[in-house]
Amino acid sequence: DQQVKQNSPSLSVQEGRISILNCDYTNSMFDYFLWYKKYPAEGPTFLISISSIKDKNEDGRFTVFLNKSAKHLSLHIVPSQPGDSAVYFCAASAEGGKLTFGTGTRLTIIP
């Protein structure tokens, strides 16, 4: 049973527009959520995170929103740039423990 789900395997967005990547989770014990970005032939790199005590965290063009009641988080990228084309993984952790990952969403930014 997948505890972290990314239901969209791929997403295409025009350059300059907003990209919204979604993630759902089932384990109510998760208290820390992360987004990782992965380019081909490279390992995932940390992008942004959010603690369950917050509902929003912003870092430059990247904002993560957390809706605990819906067990849903999203990553907003605005404006989208060609270099944002990558696979994005959502991950969650409970009490500083191991990470549970989603299957990833491949984002393609169209110039």
Partner 1 sequence: ETGVTQTPRHLVMGMTNKKSLKCEQHLGHNAMYWYKQSAKKPLELMFVYSLEERVENNSVPSRFSPECPNSSHLFLHLHTLQPEDSALYLCASSVGQGKSYEQYFGPGTRLTVT
Residues that bind partner 1 (CB under 8 A): 2, 4, 9, 32, 34, 36, 41-46, 49, 89, 91, 93, 96-104
Strand-pairing partners, residue 45, are 37
Residue number, 65 or 101, with CB nearest to partner 1: 101
Residue number, 13 or 34, with CB nearest to partner 1: 34
Q: What are phi and psi of 83, to 5 degrees?
A: -70, -10
CB 16, min distance to partner 1, A = 30
Residue number, 22 or 103, with CB nearest to partner 1: 103
Residue number, 20 or 94, with CB nearest to partner 1: 94
CB 97, min distance to partner 1, A = 6
For the chain, strand residue ranges (E) read: 4-5, 10-14, 19-25, 32-38, 45-51, 56-59, 62-67, 72-77, 86-93, 100-101, 105-110
CB 4, min distance to partner 1, A = 7
CB 43, min distance to partner 1, A = 3
Distance (Å) of CA 74 to CA 23, 46, 105: 6, 15, 12
Token digits for 108? 């393609």
